[in-house]
Amino acid sequence: MALKMEHFAQHDFLTGLPNRMLLTERLSQAIGLANRHRKQVALLFLDLDFFKNINDSLGHAVGDQLLQSVANRLSANVRATDTVCRQGGDEFVILLAEIERPEDAALIAEKLLAAFVAPHLVGGQEIHVTLSIGISVFPDDGNTVDTVMQNADTAMYHAKSDGRNNYQFFRSDMNTRAVRRLLVESSLRRALKQEEFLVHYQPQFELVSGRITGVEALIRWQDPDLGLIPPGPFIPVAEECGLIVPIGRWVLREACRQTQAWLDSGLPAVPVAVNISAVEFRHKEFLAGVSDILRETGLAPGYLELELTESILMHDVESSIAELDALKAMGVKLAVDDFGTGYSSLSYLKKFPIDILKIDQSFVRDIAIDADDATIVSAVIGMGRNLNLRVIAEGVETQDQFAFLRTRQCPEGQGYLFSQPLLADDFGRLLVAGKKPLPK
Ligand code: C2E
Ligand code: MG
Ligand code: MG
């Protein structure tokens, strides 16, 4: 029994390969031996190319079988004394315990790439998949377990950016993107744990009256080293590594909590809009998460709006409609963000149970000078009116843009001309009046 438990703890459930824990142990042993025998140790970091596409299009069951087939093929192409390990997801690591020269590792890498020319037979279909491989060698590229691992990973990212289906040796000048990505990822984990995120609130106004109609919650990251960071640089990394799910949940909870706090203190609060990434929207626990948060914070669902981009909705129309219907049934409002930048057809738009269109700021930017943008914006305003949707022009910065929007009877606007995103307390003070005189 104890032996069995130990096996489970040290092996990957899906492929039966050693896991990261066992690999780390073997690597440190190998490093110890190599030191004594004056040999070298190589670590190959492998990542399947475009595995996510395969998984998304053929389903997880096929993805899992493919990973098993990959595991077998890797094991069949190395010596019995080498360790093939599954690192998680579609990442594998191979430890070559005793090599004479780095070139020996290159030969293995070439052999593996060649072995992946043949397709994998999975559930009766042939699937082709290639590898990107990063190689790091002890002691040349690092003399601890951690540095050898990290440098192999870095080299793998370079293999990816060199067009995939190839291998790269680590070089000390390989800092840049991959390393920075890893840094951002680990800092994001810390940020979540240490509550370094905060939310700024940008009001939305009715253009004729200056009345506040809503507010958008925008995440910020107060990094202890770098200061206040806007979402642009870190949201894509969070999406890539899956951290967007807990981060998004934090934003949602904070926005709901704050809005309920304004209501509790007697302020004429307005609905709060929260941006939702594709990864979150497609996450199987998203709906349950929204309803949990509403219950926990006590916020009435009508006070919550979710902003989704066109491309999220258009990605898989049928399942989007089902999910939107479920949110709608909860009483939550739905907005299409960055409208005009995606490719939604109008017939689909009618099928989505949405409440709000947000005209993307790229159109608003040039409305006063570019006839095409002016036409598009006017058309969206008209369409929103016909479909009975709220229409909000985003990124309004100038008097000219504002004047144009008013003449075309755009109902609402958001932008620096009216207000920057504000700290919660500052927005709370604005709420007391419920409106703001807009520049003429
Ligand atoms: P978005 O949803 O389109 O948000 C509007 C962005 O435009 C915000 O940038 C806002 O500060 C900025 N903005 C507002 N008025 C003006 C203006 O007059 N001129 C210009 N040039 N910009 C204006 P921010 O806060 O940097 O956010 C950027 C994007 O990051 C957002 O675009 C949204 O897609 C994403 N984002 C923000 N918060 C979250 C979040 O909590 N979760 C997720 N998943 N994404 C978020
Ligand atoms: Mg938005
Ligand atoms: Mg937007």
CATH code of 392's domain:
3.20.20.450
One domain, residues 388 and 286: yes
Among candidate residues 151, 142, 114, 180, the one with its CA nearest the CA of residue 40: 142
One domain, residues 248 and 160: no
Whole-model pTM: value is: 0.67
Q: Ligand 2 centroid to 367 CA: how many Å?
A: 20
Where does ligand 1 bind, in terms of residues with CB under 6 Å? 202, 218-219, 230-232, 235, 248, 251, 275-277, 307, 337-338, 361, 394-397, 415-416, 421
Q: Report the Cα 424 to chain-centroid distance in Å.
A: 25
- Of 113, 140, 171, the position where a domain reaches its end is 171
One domain, residues 223 and 344: yes
One domain, residues 358 and 209: yes
Does residue 100 lie in a domain region? Answer: yes
DSSP 8-state code for residue 301? G
One domain, residues 55 and 134: yes
Q: Ligand 3 centroid to 369 CA: how many Å?
A: 21
- Of 171, 198, 224, the position where a domain reaches its end is 171
218: CB partners within 8 A, 6+ apart: 199, 200, 201, 202, 231, 275, 421
- Of 125, 140, 171, the position where a domain reaches its end is 171
- Minimum CA distance residue for ligand 1 atom 35: 231
Among candidate residues 92, 94, 117, 101, the one with its CA nearest the CA of residue 15: 92
Ligand 1 atom closest to the CA of 218, numbered from 1: 38
One domain, residues 99 and 196: no
Cα dist from 55 to 22, 98, 109, 272, 318, whole Å: 27, 35, 25, 35, 19
Q: Domain limits at 6?
A: 2-171
Does residue 439 lie in a domain region? Answer: no
Does residue 306 lie in a domain region? Answer: yes
pLDDT, residue 338, reads 87
One domain, residues 267 and 127: no
Number of domains in the chain: 2
One domain, residues 154 and 287: no
The pLDDT tens digits along the chain (440 residues) read 566 677 778 899 899 999 988 999 999 999 988 888 888 999 999 999 888 778 877 888 999 999 999 999 999 999 988 999 999 889 999 999 889 899 999 999 999 999 999 999 998 889 999 999 999 999 888 888 889 999 999 899 888 777 789 999 998 877 655 556 766 787 898 899 999 999 999 999 999 999 999 999 999 998 776 678 999 989 988 988 889 999 999 999 999 999 999 999 999 999 999 999 999 999 999 999 999 999 999 999 999 999 998 888 888 888 899 999 999 999 999 999 988 877 666 677 788 999 999 999 999 999 988 999 999 899 999 999 999 999 999 999 999 999 999 999 999 999 999 999 999 999 999 999 999 999 87
One domain, residues 17 and 106: yes
